[in-house]
Amino acid sequence: MEPVRIAMWSGPRNISTAMMRAFENRPDTAVVDEPFYAAYLAETGLDHPMRREVLASQPLDWREVATAMAGRAPGGAAVFYQKHMTHHMLPGFDLDWARACRNAFLIREPEAVLASYAVKRAEVTLDDIGVVRQHELFARECERLGAAPPVVLGADVLADPRGMLTALCAALTIPFREEMLSWPAGRRDTDGVWAPAWYDAVERSTGFEAPGPRAAPPLSDDLRRIADQARPHYEALAAHKLHR
């Protein structure tokens, strides 16, 4: 029996790992964490935190990864949730495999993404936050489907986890499960080998934490320029966001 394959496309610092936790806590679901990461690093030669470990932990050929993403779910699970970073899907990586998936898009305001990302890496580019590629992938999926695929704003999930996850599951035509709202703290065997560099907050979490009142994050002039470039792409996706 074919699994329901869900390809969730986001940039970094988009509550993407917390969303993966929510789906992994479903008894019917298996997850995979950024499976194209090593292929992306091998192709680009970029120096990311824990680069050597990432390259050793995953296939370096994107074709091998693509075949696995369109195949059976680990353990024969009924739902196969795939956490993908949009910028990992380089222009030379064929996307035909994604036709076997129900594609969805997780977004966050670029100013907040940049403020969070800059804490982890000193140098940031527009490509690093993936929003331009996310817009491209979204447009491609719109054309394929003849309608907009599901778009979910991370801040909406944090504000109303039950309502937004119910809406997302409905859009993906799978049942909502109560288990998605909380999970045990700690690291998972399914987490990417890069978890020590990126997942400290989510490893302490046991669910989606409601955001408190926050002022707009201060950004350097360079980051502000990137945010301004990213904003139209973000807004194009946000125009289609799900509501509870």
Domains and CATH numbers, the chain: 4-238 (3.40.50.300)
Task: Return the biggest CA–CA distance within the chain.
Answer: 53
Nearest to 136 by CA among 226, 223, 144, 69: 144
Pair 103, 235: CB distance under 8 Å: no
Distance, in Å, from the CA atom of 167 to the CA atom of 157, rounded to the nearest integer, reads 10
Cα 157 to the center of its chain, rounded Å: 14
Pair 43, 166: CB distance under 8 Å: no
Determine the pLDDT at residue 105: 98
Q: pTM higher than 0.85, yes or no? A: yes
Q: What helix, strand, coil percent values describe the chain, rounded to 5?
A: 50, 15, 40
Tell me the average confidence (pLDDT) per consecutive run of 10 residues in the chain, 244 residues long.
96 96 98 98 95 98 98 98 98 97 98 91 92 98 98 97 98 98 97 95 94 74 97 98 94
